[in-house]
Chains A and B, each alone.
Chain A
């Protein structure tokens, strides 16, 4: 595998210097085959718009766009990258790229970052890096944090908590008022991963969390137990809605819109459905996950990406498209409130004037000194993530099973990272 990487790297640098430096200025010709997983209504309009604009810039280019269902793509990508792959595909940053990078299926595009083809992407480069090389470009990301019912907080006289003690004190009052503090739907497991990410990053710090993700720390470590002990405080006071293992994250939103739960730790993608459910911006607000120990705050900000399969036929065109998508103007446009409604990856882009995007951008730029993580299922290797999230869900329902769960996870860790 090593030699494949080396040769492809050499071939790439040669091709890269020749074409990509001024690719945007030259009109491209030939074909460009894109398979995208942006299948939800708003993202679909975005990718279709991107293809239309890119086609207008290069009239001789024949672009073929296939939009695949986002969930289905998670399993289909393997087949798509194998024989006769497209030129551009969607995927996710960090360790989620791992299996495809190791198998040599993603193109190494480190040279594009090095020779200045991707201005403004320096800060997000890390999420695209594995083995010291970059394997794709991001096109959007979003913050995680606690979205809460401002009107309920006002009614109970609560304010945004900054520390975990304040958080717990708030929660006690919310529970006393007959509500649950947090809505969550763990049927598909990953939402529990968000809670673990934050509790662990706040209890033990970002670096420890990443060590755990890399398999360098035992799951039975006392520091991990401390994270779970903090988590248990919320579980024991009845902080979470009942029967959350039966709901998806969307179904659990109802608890928040009905006022039965006061807050929800979730990504910014939850804001549009909350607004559609009739909540006004006066009723919802956002705060950063409170601090627990005295460690620099780490944040979850999952990044969605574009990649070039290593077997692509039109790599030069694909590179030009990646450049186009990440350019400052395009980033501003596609991440606006009327499009994706998320954060642009290019430092020179502007964030849309939206209460939540502005707060999120501010938080990630100034208040995430610990570092920015992707998300439990993107930072941990695939197998560890799936075993792990199942254990986290079990812990949330039966916290007494903790020892058993941790032993199981430790067993999985020893097998997976060997």
Chain B
């Protein structure tokens, strides 16, 4: 700020006034940038830094170079299990998109009380993930669970889904799909409101119906909704922490761990004193997420370019 006296004739305008157009956007951006830096950028840097150390979170940290990564990527079976579980989550969680689409098509009609039906279908997304996890773990209970009661009706033997290392992850993903399908459904319902009735009419005159109508007329118009559904589902799959924590606590014998849970377990849980190792897992997870984020940003950028 320069000192312009009020009595002097305003020959020279203030520094701010002269640069107003250039400065103002940055002023508005400044708080957001500050918080983004303090809470996101700097911690990412710190995680990278910690991942090169051996540190119990209490005493002194010792520099170990890339030891943590070498161990992680060469002979850590927990890491391998977690990584594959993450992939299972990513692939199977995408089922929420077609399921959500199907339900939204089914509910997109005007009959009496449709609002009530819609809200009932949306309900699982409103309740907390912890509650979803609890409900499903009761559902899966080996003896008293509803699932086994139903199976018994068909004469099928009792299964202990969450106690079986080969099935537990799928059991948790199924629980996660329940709220995620509801989320995709609501996205598609809003998308369907924006479908152009004239195009549908025109397609009908041309004889399109059923699957053809859906595939060539409706779905292309739902592309923005599909994109958002894809983004939120991928993000949802990567933050599957709470369901795992509630339903199996990573077990049985660590077979349901994913990277985020493993990271928590190594560094922050009751017996976790390996901050450096946890940070290394966090860095790996960060790069996996970065891949998706770059893809999302890139496709949004392409869209913007096409739009103008």
The answer to whether A99 and B163 have CB atoms under 8 Å apart is: no
Interface assignment of B253: CB less than 8 Å from any CB of chain A: yes
Of A81, A102, A245, A408, which contacts B163 at CB under 8 A? A245
Per the bound structure, the CA–CA distance linking A397 and B272 in Å amounts to 25
Q: Which of A236-258 contact B (CB under 8 A)?
A: 242-243, 245-246
Residues of A within 8 A of B141 (CB): 246
Residues of A within 8 A of B236 (CB): none
Knowing A103-B59, A243-B143, say if A382 contacts B271 (CB, 8 Å). Answer: yes
The answer to whether A105 and B58 have CB atoms under 8 Å apart is: yes
Give the residue among B77, B252, B268, B269 with the most A Cβ atoms within 10 A: B252
Interface assignment of A188: CB less than 8 Å from any CB of chain B: yes
Binary CB contact string for chain B from 47 to 75 against chain A (1 if under 8 A, 0 otherwise): 00000000011111000000000000000
Of B57, B142, B162, B273, which contacts A242 at CB under 8 A? B142
Binary CB contact string for chain A from 64 to 103 against chain B (1 if under 8 A, 0 otherwise): 0000000000110010010000000000000000011011
Per the bound structure, the CA–CA distance linking A350 and B25 in Å amounts to 75
Min C-beta distance of B168 to chain A, whole Å? 10
The answer to whether A245 and B269 have CB atoms under 8 Å apart is: no
* Chain B interface mostly: loop
Per the bound structure, the CA–CA distance linking A385 and B272 in Å amounts to 10
Residues of B within 8 A of A243 (CB): 142-143, 160, 163
Per the bound structure, the CA–CA distance linking A187 and B162 in Å amounts to 10
Q: Interface size bucket, A side?
A: 20 to 34
Interface assignment of A111: CB less than 8 Å from any CB of chain B: no
The residue in chain B whose Cβ has the minimal distance to the Cβ of A244 is B163
Residues of A within 8 A of B57 (CB): 78
Per the bound structure, the CA–CA distance linking A377 and B274 in Å amounts to 17
Interface assignment of B270: CB less than 8 Å from any CB of chain A: yes
The answer to whether B252 and A99 have CB atoms under 8 Å apart is: no
Residues of A within 8 A of B220 (CB): none
Can you sample 16 A-B contacts with CB below 8 Å?
Answer: A75-B268, A81-B58, A99-B56, A99-B58, A102-B56, A103-B58, A103-B59, A187-B248, A187-B249, A382-B271, A382-B272, A383-B272, A386-B270, A386-B271, A393-B252, A394-B252
Closest 6 pairs (CB-CB, A-B) = A103-B58, A386-B271, A394-B253, A243-B142, A103-B59, A246-B163
Interface residues of B (CB under 8 A from A): 56-60, 77, 141-143, 160, 162-163, 248-249, 251-254, 265, 268-274
Interface residues of A (CB under 8 A from B): 1, 74-75, 78, 81, 99-100, 102-105, 187-189, 242-243, 245-246, 377, 382-383, 385-386, 390-391, 393-394, 397, 408
